[in-house]
Structure 1
Amino acid sequence: MTDTSEVRASSARPSDEMLPFLNNFHDIFTTIGVLILLAGLGAGAGQVMVGLGLDEGEQAWQNALMALIGGIGIFAWLLSALLVGKQRRILPGIVLSAVFGVATMVVLVWGYAQFLIHGVGISEGNFELAGEGAENMEFGRDAVMMVVSQLPASIRVMPIVLGLAFLLPVTAYYVSYRLPFAGGLMGVGVVLTAVMTLLAIDPYTVIVWAPTLNVAAGGALLLGGILFDARDPGRETRLAGTAFWLHFFAAPILLGAVLNLTQTGWTFQDSDFANPESLNLFAAMATDSAESMRLAITALTVIGLFALVSLLINRRALIVSGLVTAGVSIGVIVNASDLGAGAVVAVTLLVLGAVVVLLGAAWNPVRRILLAPIPQAGPLGRIFPPVSAAEG
């Protein structure tokens, strides 16, 4: 995060959000170097694998590959100690935290798979045996529990292992370097692990109620972002940076979840499992049908609510995350007028761009109107930060 002197030296008005992913151009310069360095490491690792001459897929080949991936993860951690821990470089930290998280997750999941195969003795036969009992049963709780009951406990907890394999590395990174992006990933990891734990306990309920759980997951991230913002209404510390990323990740999850609700309702039905292709949102919005129009209107309504919440809490991240879907939705509506493809693209971009520009220009005046009935002191004042007299 930028320090106070940097903020005061900038041309940003008090209402403007500081960038939670960039300090200055030196961040960009350093990130270019990091990306080139990581690309070189990846290419070098590929050459090492070729030079070893091992049979692809065999145990020795897997061991060598995981050692190289783990080595890249360790390198990302050590480089983070310099660039993020000492120099507080944000954008390079985003790249390095992502590389460390992915590399560590891959190694942890592979390690657990090795434990299942070599330690517990799990094989393909276990899965085949588990599925045999439910072959002639229709999908339902009895069929799902029949399969689950035939699986060893070490396999049934696999969803929890996957969740923790994502959560633990990003948590370690956030605790060590206090990078806001890693804090946002940690929030995603907490929600993911909670859902995965429910999946391990009662897979049938989680599968059937997936649309509702998606809404709950997105809502939890949004609430987390609001709580972090409330601890730093002035947007001056890393807490506000973490809140930005929680909002950023919450928006697409919530938007996709609401669109799923529009398609399926709060729960999945048997017909949804019989025809899973019907659940493809982008395919549904690409068709000339009443459903595509309904989804487009729903998407714009949700994005409009995002805009309202963004204005109230002074956060643009919610809107930014939904711009692509907003563009697709506007395109679907415009396409209903039977314009040519080129005209649809032009009108869509014009409308979307005009809305964003107008919203940006009128951000503070609109906030003043919306916040007029809200107390400027107390808990509400921290959740909905007031517009100061210095803001235009």
Structure 2
Amino acid sequence: MYSQNDIDEAVAAGALSADSADSLRRFLDQARAMPAVDDEQFRLITGFNDIFVSIAAAILLFAVGWIGQSIGESLGIVVKDGPSALAPAAVAATAWGLATFFTGKRRMALPSILLLLAFVGGVAATIGFLEALVYNGDNLQGERAVIVGGVAGSIAAAVGAAAAYVHWRRFHVPITVAAGAASVSAIVAGLLLAALGEGPNTTNVMLGLVLLLGIGVFLFAMRWDSSDPQRLTRRSDVAFWLHLLAAPMIVHPVFTLLGLNNGTSGVGEGLVVIALYVALAITALAIDRRALLVSALAYVLFALNRLFETAGAVELNVALTALVIGSALLLLSAFWHQARAAIVTRLPGGLQSHLPVLGPAALSPRPT
């Protein structure tokens, strides 16, 4: 990167004309002012040191959890000769301590994500294991097991949500909001499971609830996205992780109810899956988020594979499926800006104002 002083010295030495220097300054100013959109950028690593610290932190957390488990076994604080609540508690405490330095002071992206997940997951697991320890001697079965499990899961998720809130207030790691949203969703799901009990329609009702919760998380993510349409602040990163959470919560229930997970789907269901994937692609283009496409990828691969099998291409069905999907995704990636511009410009102006702005690559004419 050249400084203004370097450019001035180049002009003084005759290596660069004054007009060229002014043109270069204008170009740099415009480049810096351009919104960083249409590429769905977010901070994951700032250098290899992020990976190095993450590996070291994971090893340390594993060791601390192992030691906590050993201490719990020696003290008899275990769930039916299984996990001990001391293990996740030690992991959560260590993760918070590491976060005070690597997140609070160093602001390292990947280690911060790892430590946040370890802290919130450790806190929730600690409460869950303690609850299991209370019922350690009870032989829970059938309806009672479902009810107790739902309530216990909701309590653990509620404590996990509180832990995510405390972590957010202290460190403001973008993924924390998604962790809190996942915890709140788990609270609602656990309470409904406890209310329904064991019944023939419990699975379908729970899938419907997860779908509704996924839509709610998606709308919550759009609220964060709409507050930063140029994607210049941390709000865009928060929205990214919320979209990454919402996508499987929306996709999995829909495709499971279509029978893709139990092998009962036919040609009709396969065509419906393809149509839904196209709708997801249009939505992903409009909001400039690729998470929807990635989350539904396994389902559309399975559906297209079944269609090729039905058509008689049994030997090449996997290769043909990979060829079609891989080529389509690469073409979509290559022309993402143009495809997004074609969709967004046809939407109502009020809706466009809540979507990420179109980048210069989408607005510039295509070369001839």
Q: TM-score range by the shorter chain?
A: 0.7 to 0.9
Tell me, yes or no, if structure 1 residue 368 matches structure 2 residue 358: no
1:83 pairs, out of 99, 102, 122, with 102
Tell me, yes or no, if structure 1 residue 313 matches structure 2 residue 287: yes
- Counterpart CA distance in 2 for 1:320 and 1:14 is 19
Give the corresponding residue for 1:103.
122
Q: Please report how far the alpha carbon of residue 78 of structure 1 lies from its aligned counterpart in structure 2 after TM superposition.
A: 0.8
Give the corresponding residue for 1:171.
165
Give the corresponding residue for 1:124.
138
8 Å contact kept, 2:64–2:91: yes
Give the corresponding residue for 2:243.
247
Tell me, yes or no, if structure 1 residue 196 matches structure 2 residue 190: yes
SS of match in other structure, 2:212: helix
Give the corresponding residue for 1:141.
none
Q: Please report how far the alpha carbon of residue 56 of structure 1 lies from its aligned counterpart in structure 2 after TM superposition.
A: 9.3
2:307 pairs, out of 325, 328, 333, with 333
- Counterpart CA distance in 1 for 2:267 and 2:44 is 36
Q: Please report how far the alpha carbon of residue 384 of structure 1 lies from its aligned counterpart in structure 2 after TM superposition.
A: 2.0
Give the corresponding residue for 1:21.
44
2:213 pairs, out of 211, 217, 232, with 217
- Counterpart CA distance in 2 for 1:177 and 1:312 is 31
- Counterpart CA distance in 1 for 2:319 and 2:55 is 34
- Counterpart CA distance in 1 for 2:87 and 2:207 is 39
1:34 pairs, out of 41, 57, 65, with 57
SS of match in other structure, 1:70: helix
Call closer, same or farther: CA 1:294–1:31 in 2, change over 3 Å.
Answer: farther
Call closer, same or farther: CA 1:297–1:355 in 2, change over 3 Å.
Answer: same
| Deviations, residues 248-283 of structure 1 (Å, cap 9, x unaligned) | 1211121111123334xxxxxxxxxxxxxxxxx434
- Counterpart CA distance in 1 for 2:352 and 2:204 is 40
8 Å contact kept, 1:14–1:390: no
Give TM-score scaled by structure 1 length: 0.72
Give TM-score scaled by structure 2 length: 0.76
1:387 pairs, out of 332, 352, 358, with 358
- Counterpart CA distance in 1 for 2:344 and 2:211 is 27
Tell me, yes or no, if structure 1 residue 282 matches structure 2 residue 257: no
8 Å contact kept, 1:163–1:193: yes
Say how many residue pairs are matched.
331
Tell me, yes or no, if structure 1 residue 358 matches structure 2 residue 331: yes
Q: Please report how far the alpha carbon of residue 171 of structure 1 lies from its aligned counterpart in structure 2 after TM superposition.
A: 2.8
Give the corresponding residue for 1:227.
223
Q: Please report how far the alpha carbon of residue 159 of structure 1 lies from its aligned counterpart in structure 2 after TM superposition.
A: 4.2
Call closer, same or farther: CA 1:382–1:194 in 2, change over 3 Å.
Answer: farther
Q: Please report how far the alpha carbon of residue 109 of structure 1 lies from its aligned counterpart in structure 2 after TM superposition.
A: 1.6
Q: Please report how far the alpha carbon of residue 359 of structure 1 lies from its aligned counterpart in structure 2 after TM superposition.
A: 0.6
Q: Which amino acid aligns with 1:21?
A: L
Tell me, yes or no, if structure 1 residue 257 matches structure 2 residue 253: yes
- Counterpart CA distance in 1 for 2:150 and 2:183 is 19
SS of match in other structure, 2:261: helix
Call closer, same or farther: CA 1:390–1:332 in 2, change over 3 Å.
Answer: closer
Larger Rg: 2
Q: Please report how far the alpha carbon of residue 177 of structure 1 lies from its aligned counterpart in structure 2 after TM superposition.
A: 1.6
SS of match in other structure, 1:307: helix
SS of match in other structure, 1:234: coil
Call closer, same or farther: CA 1:303–1:158 in 2, change over 3 Å.
Answer: same
RMSD after superposition? 3.5
